[in-house]
Amino acid sequence: MPISDCKIIQLPKIADPRGNLTFIEGGRHVPFEIQRVYYLYDVPGGSERGGHAHRDLHQFIIAMSGSFDIALDDGVEKKRFHLARSYYGLYVCPMIWRELDNFSSGSVCMVLASNRYSEADYIRDHAEFVRVAGEQARNSGP
């Protein structure tokens, strides 16, 4: 899918002097049904995560604490996002190569995913990703 489908989505924020509150409701705030939640934490400085694409998985990535960068690549175009707040996140559609880096100390990256973990859904080799993405683009072309 093209990188233009990936976008920052703002979440509701109930501002309160006692502490802010944000919520995510299934079927309303993210463009897929949530089947799994996982999070990265205790990330050492200088770490890089990701370095793969998913064939069918949709994801929504939030910086629950701290900040980090996400580089996206659809095989043709590249885009970089900086996530730094817990009231918005980045929607990543299937067939996008992603790399996460520049984690601040104490950062927590929460990911909502459209399916349970499946290693078969991963493409971990970038050359293979470019080949499969190119094939899909040609098959869906005019």
Any idea which residues carry the catalytic annotation? 52
Distances (CA, A) of 89 to 18, 63, 70, 82, 127: 23, 7, 11, 10, 28
Q: C-beta of 37: minimal distance to ligand TYD in Å?
A: 9
Q: Which long-range contacts (CB under 8 A, 24 or more apart) does 11-19 make?
A: 11/62, 11/87, 11/88, 11/89, 12/87, 13/87
Cβ nearer to ligand TYD, comparing 36 with 80: 36
Q: What is the DSSP letter of 103?
A: P
Residues that bind ligand TYD (CB under 6 A): 36, 38, 40, 49-50, 52, 117
Q: C-beta of 67: minimal distance to ligand TYD in Å?
A: 16
Cβ nearer to ligand TYD, comparing 33 with 135: 33
Q: C-beta of 121: minimal distance to ligand TYD in Å?
A: 10
Cβ nearer to ligand TYD, comparing 50 with 66: 50
Q: What is the DSSP letter of 5?
A: G
